[in-house]
């Protein structure tokens, strides 16, 4: 399990001053401090799960906004304290979840689908990596700090979660865009090649399988995939399609991993 992105965030935090915490991040509507509030809220919920509340938004993005809004009146120190308090305990839980017999137990993440318990670590890897590098730090975010080039061990867990979530997060909306198999050929750190297969029946889901099993292929770096598949950047600026471009375009236009 990779802790590098969390460690990188821990090293960035002391360098950020009060004015910088208030700057708008690249995540629409959230200040830089709100991004940390989001990560702190996720960590606290992992450590001390709240009771089910049917009044909460079913849409995962609206749910995250609600949790951030609850913390908007907090001082910077209070937000950072929650993150520092809950994150190590969250990492301990995720570490334990890598071990059998519980590692393969199915866990529902409301609004995002169902995943084997061991993959919840990848969810955190994706969240921290994506928010830190795309929303907080320059060139896309406002903080003028740099990190070393991302490594395979940082990018791959995030991509693994995204590919596990791809068939589930958007349901029929995304499923309807795939009529034939499409290959995602991702290169560089976190490189992987998978085929997205159409649903086999009217109520089925897309499936994502290792390997290249189609002539229509979408080529991108894995690092760029994290940005465009979350709609932070336009896919057309970062993808090259070989084969039948018109077969891949509806899928790429629709894809929005949360």
pLDDT tens string 27-70: 999 999 999 999 999 999 999 999 988 899 989 999 999 999 99
The 10s digit of each residue's pLDDT in 215-226 is 999 999 999 999
Predicted confidence band at 3 (pLDDT cuts at 50, 70, 90)? confident
The 10s digit of each residue's pLDDT in 155-182 is 999 999 999 999 999 999 999 999 999 9
Predicted confidence band at 110 (pLDDT cuts at 50, 70, 90)? confident
Cα–Cα distances (Å) from 175 to 114, 206, 208, 236, in that order, read 17, 6, 12, 20
- Asked whether 219 and 240 are in contact (CB, 8 A), the reply is yes
Domain boundaries, the chain: 4-148, 166-254
The 10s digit of each residue's pLDDT in 120-133 is 999 999 999 999 99
CA 77, CA 67: separation in Å to the nearest integer? 17
What would the mean pLDDT of 181-188 be, rounded to a whole number? Answer: 98
CA 239, CA 119: separation in Å to the nearest integer? 27
> Same CATH fold, 166-254 and 4-148?
no
For residues 254, 131, 153 and 117, what is the CA-based torsion angle, rounded to 10 degrees?
-70
The neighbouring-strand residues paired with 210 are 194
DSSP letters, 31-54, are BHHHHHHHHHHHHHHHHSPPPP-T
Residue 1 pLDDT greater than 80, yes or no: no
- The answer regarding whether domain 4-148 maps to CATH 1.20.120.450 reads yes
Q: What is the pLDDT of residue 2?
A: 63
Q: What is the pLDDT of residue 198?
A: 98
Cβ neighbours, 10 Å, residue 207: 16
Mention every residue, 6+ apart, whose C-beta is less than 8 A from residue 92: none
Q: How would CATH label the architecture of 166-254?
A: 2-Layer Sandwich (3.30)
Q: Is 11 left (phi over 0), alpha (psi -120 to 50) or beta?
A: alpha
Q: What angle do CA 16, 19, 23 make, to 5 degrees?
A: 90
Q: What is the pLDDT of residue 203?
A: 86
The 10s digit of each residue's pLDDT in 63-108 is 999 999 999 999 999 999 999 999 999 999 999 999 999 999 999 9
């Amino acid at each position: 399990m990779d802790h590098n992105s969390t460690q990188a965030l821990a090293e960035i935090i002391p360098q950020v001053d009060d004015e910088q915490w208030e700057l708008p991040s690249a995540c629409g509507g959230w200040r830089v401090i709100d991004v940390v509030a989001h990560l702190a809220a996720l960590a606290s919920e992992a450590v001390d799960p709240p009771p089910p509340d049917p009044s909460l938004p079913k849409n995962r993005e609206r749910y995250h906004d609600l949790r951030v809004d609850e913390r908007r009146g907090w001082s910077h120190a209070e937000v950072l304290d929650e993150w520092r308090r809950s994150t190590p305990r969250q990492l301990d839980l995720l570490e334990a979840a890598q071990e059998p017999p519980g590692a393969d137990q199915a866990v529902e993440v409301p609004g995002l689908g169902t995943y084997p318990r061991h993959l919840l670590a990848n969810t955190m890897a994706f969240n921290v990596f994506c928010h830190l590098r795309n929303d907080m730090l320059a060139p896309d975010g406002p903080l003028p700090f740099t990190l070393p080039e991302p490594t395979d061990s940082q990018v791959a867990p995030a991509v693994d979660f995204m590919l596990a979530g791809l068939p589930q997060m958007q349901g029929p909306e995304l499923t309807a865009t795939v009529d034939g198999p499409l290959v995602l050929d991702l290169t560089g750190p976190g490189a992987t090649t998978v085929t997205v297969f159409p649903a086999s029946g009217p109520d089925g889901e897309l499936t994502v399988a290792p390997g290249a099993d189609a002539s229509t292929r979408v080529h991108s770096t894995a690092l760029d995939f994290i940005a465009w598949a979350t709609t932070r950047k336009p896919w057309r600026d970062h993808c090259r399609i070989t084969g039948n471009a018109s077969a891949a375009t509806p899928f790429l236009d629709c894809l929005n991993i949360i």
